[in-house]
Chain A
Amino acid sequence: MLELYIQTLHTDEAGLETPAATRERLKSSFPAGAARRMTQLGMLVGTCLRPLSPETQDTIVYLSQFGESRSLEAYLDSFPCASPTLFQTSIHPGGLQQMLIGRQIAIGTVFPLSGDAQLVSEGLVTAMTAESPRVIICGGEERGTWLTEHNAAAEQSFAFALAATQERGDTCIGTLRINEGDVNAPGLTLLDWFRLLNTRTPYLGPAGAGWNLDLEWH
């Protein structure tokens, strides 16, 4: 059994909010002028991540099935004069790096994951086999436009960030455990996972093929 103790959690359910509305809502969380250059996912993840005060010795596990969908769409539409800025921000894990570069926060180990039915379970396995005392599990999606119509981008925007430790401590708000399970069981999607976190809902069941999750809140 692999186990981690949740110490801090922040979520943001932007849903169908436009990037402009998200920018207006969250711009005070970032240095003046920085929000103008950030993507919607970058702002959402950055807002959730900042209160966790990431440090160099942390491991960060970043989960996003589609990543920087809006940048990807805009970059594709910038051809034949390809935009270097959109190229940079379309590359995984741009949504995570925007806040960390903006605040010049070095991190030892960063595992950016993608995937669908296995994304959550493999992200948890990655986090629980990390060798640092504290692991930050964060991620999210930004709603696309034409890519969404082709199931190549998310339908809703959201983000989460939690800090978890190997030691329970006095401030523990939840426990994550994973065990080997049924290889044919369906997986939790990233949106399923976000909803569990956002509503602090307990869960006991399959997380992905071969893995069961036990999520408790204290």
Chain B
Amino acid sequence: MTASDALPHLIDSGCLTPFGDDIATHRALIEGRLAIAPHPVLGAEGGDSVPLALLPGRCLDETANPAWLGPLRTLAGRFKDGGWGQPRRPVIVTSSNFGVGSLYAFRRADHDPGHLDHGTPCSSTNLLRRHFGWGPDVTIYSHACVSAHLGLLQATRRVASNTADEVLVFSYDFLSPFVTGGFHALKILNEGFPAPYQRRETGSIALGDGAAYAIVGRRKGDFRLTAQRVYNEHHHFTANRPDGTGFRRVFDELGAAAKGRRVWLKGHGTGTLEAGRLEAEAFAAVFPEAPLVGWKGSLGHTLGSCGLVELAIAVQCMRTRQAPGTVGTQSPCFTPNVATSPLNLNAMDSVICASNAFGGAHAAFILSDA
């Protein structure tokens, strides 16, 4: 056990997806609904039709006054009275893309200098600071799709090291042609809809808008985060080591930490074939009895925010004792533990939440009843 395993509680969490907040999102996933729909990959510039999950009323093309700011303000209203960004109550912001869609809009579309106000990670974060009234103590982490996990890890370390009383972790990623064009160029965002962990001929991912927050601190909450683990295999920019050792490195440690717990598994599961197979096989090897689900077949991959978005949904699963299955997936799957229907969690007390990212970055933690 490490020092940061000992103290922190998850005091609050919430998310925003095209379905709404964490309660609405959980309900929609239980019902097996899809947030993704076909959209032109480059927005107004057209291109192939690809599956994207955009917030209601938001188009893929960025506007100088960003359309995602209003929904984020609504989400931030859930923790507005915290005195956040002051000493002892720092904010950690995590994202993969921040406002980079604005740079695309400036360069490729309307050349409106208003986009430049929030095009970089720090200017985008400063926009949030101004609008949400945060103080200056704001840390920014960006590590692609494990960004949110790093925020949670450092939040627990700040509390454990007594350099903070409570930490707000805030994560957001909104789609733009910048990111959809990139994944389309990599050929994993294509016309197909994702079916995470399904054994099939062609892999496909979807991308989605997402934002979320979590508050970590000493105050007792209903849940605890433990055994937060990360590992960066650095095998290839966009591929994992083919023997799956990156996944096993993290899951083996969590397996030891979860001994005696009755766990279910929330995987990364984007819909790519190789990474999905490696993840499912590694999970099945370490947790052969535990059911595995993933939700990106409905929500799309919310990129740097996915770890926090899916944490908030997992919390709602623990509260309702019911978890959505792997929406969009049908048999045959890579491993027999992949669950395609909702799970009854009455016999479970913990969930392992995992994400992975470019560069062979792996991250996971245990969320359990306090």
Residues in chain A within 8 A of chain B (CB atoms): 2, 65-67, 72, 75-77, 79-84, 87-89, 91-94, 97, 100-101, 104-119, 122, 125-126, 129-131, 146-147, 150-152, 180, 183-184, 208-210
Contact = CB atoms under 8 A, between A and B. Distances in A.
A151 to B, nearest CB: 8
A183 B234 contact: no
Contact of B137 (A80, A87, A91, A209): A209
A37 B238 CA distance: 15
Contacts of B238: 88
Residue in B4, B96, B103 with the greatest tally of chain A CB atoms within 10 Å:
B103
Contact of A92 (B143, B158, B181): B143
Given A84-B182, A115-B140, A97 B119 contact: no
Residue in A106, A119, A146, A147 with the greatest tally of chain B CB atoms within 10 Å:
A106
B359 interface: yes
A115 B122 contact: yes
A210 B137 contact: yes
A115 B93 CA distance: 10
Interface stretch (B25-33, B225-233, B269-277): B225-233
18 contacts: A75-B178, A76-B104, A76-B108, A76-B178, A93-B142, A94-B237, A105-B234, A111-B143, A112-B142, A114-B98, A114-B120, A115-B122, A129-B161, A150-B116, A151-B116, A209-B136, A210-B136, A210-B137
A129 B163 contact: yes
Contact of A152 (B119, B135, B182, B359): B119
B361 interface: yes
A83 to B, nearest CB: 7
Interface string B137-167: 1111111100000100110011011010000
B143 A125 contact: no
A105 B108 CA distance: 37
Contact of A183 (B3, B113, B135): B135
Interface in B22-62: 42, 45, 47
B235 interface: yes
Contact of B230 (A92, A109, A184): A109
B235 A114 contact: no
B120 to A, nearest CB: 5
Contacts of A93: 142-143, 359
B139 A91 contact: no
Contacts of A110: 143, 230, 232, 361
Q: How large is the interface on B (under 10, 10 to 19, 20 to 34, 35 or more residues)?
A: 35 or more
B16 to A, nearest CB: 22
B231 A106 contact: yes
A152 B104 CA distance: 13
A184 to B, nearest CB: 8
Given A91-B96, A122-B138, A131-B157, 7 more contacts: A75-B182, A82-B185, A91-B358, A93-B143, A104-B235, A107-B232, A180-B163
A122 B139 contact: yes
A103 B138 CA distance: 33
Contact of A104 (B104, B122, B182, B234): B234
Nearest to B179: A87
A118 B138 contact: yes
B236 interface: yes
A88 B186 CA distance: 9
A97 B234 contact: yes
A77 to B, nearest CB: 7
Contact of B185 (A2, A83, A118, A147): A83
A73 to B, nearest CB: 8
B177 interface: yes
B144 A91 contact: yes
A-B CB proximity, top 7 nearest: A87-B182, A209-B136, A114-B121, A82-B181, A122-B139, A84-B185, A82-B185
Given A152-B116, A209-B135, A113 B234 contact: no
Nearest to A183: B87
Given A80-B45, A118-B137, A108 B157 contact: no
A129 to B, nearest CB: 4
Contacts of A126: 139, 154
A109 B135 CA distance: 28
